[in-house]
A and B are shown apart, each in its own frame.
Chain A
Amino acid sequence: DAKTTQPPSMDCAEGRAANLPCNHSTISGNEYVYWYRQIHSQGPQYIIHGLKNNETNEMASLIITEDRKSSTLILPHATLRDTAVYYCIVRGPSSNTGKLIFGQGTTLQVKP
């Protein structure tokens, strides 16, 4: 699986958009970009995933650059409940069975 790089921490004001970047410069053509988040003492929560087109769902938007070497997760109107560790991971046909390497992720602190 391609390695991902994320900033260790970010702050965001409540009500503003939170833009979380992820670099995956070694991504292969058939590998998907996934975003999960984990709030302390809870299980990881699936947010969104995509291959090459931008994706949007009720939680967030995923913007993938044309060369697919990086992506941005956008939470359009962050709330205090969005404070969590956000993980960007890449998965493809060669991914180890069920294995999800979450890495260090980005700790997003939403402030009032």
Chain B
Amino acid sequence: KAGVTQTPRYLIKTRGQQVTLSCSPISGHRSVSWYQQTPGQGLQFLFEYFSETQRNKGNFPGRFSGRQFSNSRSEMNVSTLELGDSALYLCASSSTLQGQGIGYNSPLHFGNGTRLTVT
């Protein structure tokens, strides 16, 4: 079974630009979560999509948005990039919704991430 696939693997953008990252979950998984990982802040939750609806959201500004398609593939968009947005962006899929008191016994499977560098 293919794992979680994220594209592109690396991106270099300039401040003020926008970027779209893509994630294909494991076949059959309907939950897709996005995380930002930096050396200083560790792993921070951005949002989770399940059945094309955003179900949970972390504490990130509105510049960070996402969507999920009917085939469970997901995209994340960051507008008006800032230097501080430089990070490894990780997508994780699961067979069940992860929040709202359920899904805690179902593992998240991560992709290898997209390394975004903002200059």
* A-to-B contact residues, CB < 8 Å: 31-32, 34, 41-46, 49, 51, 91-102
Nearest Cβ distance between residue A22 and chain B, in whole angstroms?
16
> Do residues A97 and B112 form an inter-chain contact, with CB atoms below 8 A?
no
Q: Which chain B residue shows the least CB distance to A46?
A: B107
Q: Which residues of B contact A92 (CB under 8 A)?
A: 104
* B-to-A contact residues, CB < 8 Å: 4, 6, 33, 35, 42-43, 45, 47-48, 55-56, 58, 88, 90, 92, 98-102, 104-105, 107-113, 115
How many contacting A-B pairs (Cβ < 8 A)? 65
> Do residues A32 and B99 form an inter-chain contact, with CB atoms below 8 A?
no
Nearest Cβ distance between residue B73 and chain A, in whole angstroms?
17
Nearest Cβ distance between residue B79 and chain A, in whole angstroms?
22
> Do residues A42 and B113 form an inter-chain contact, with CB atoms below 8 A?
yes
Q: Which chain A residue shows the least CB distance to B42?
A: A102
Nearest Cβ distance between residue A101 and chain B, in whole angstroms?
7
CA distance A98 to B33 in the complex (A): 7
Nearest Cβ distance between residue B26 and chain A, in whole angstroms?
11
Q: Which residues of B contact A51 (CB under 8 A)?
A: 105
Q: Which of A41, A46, A49, A97 contacts B110 (CB 8 A)?
A: A46
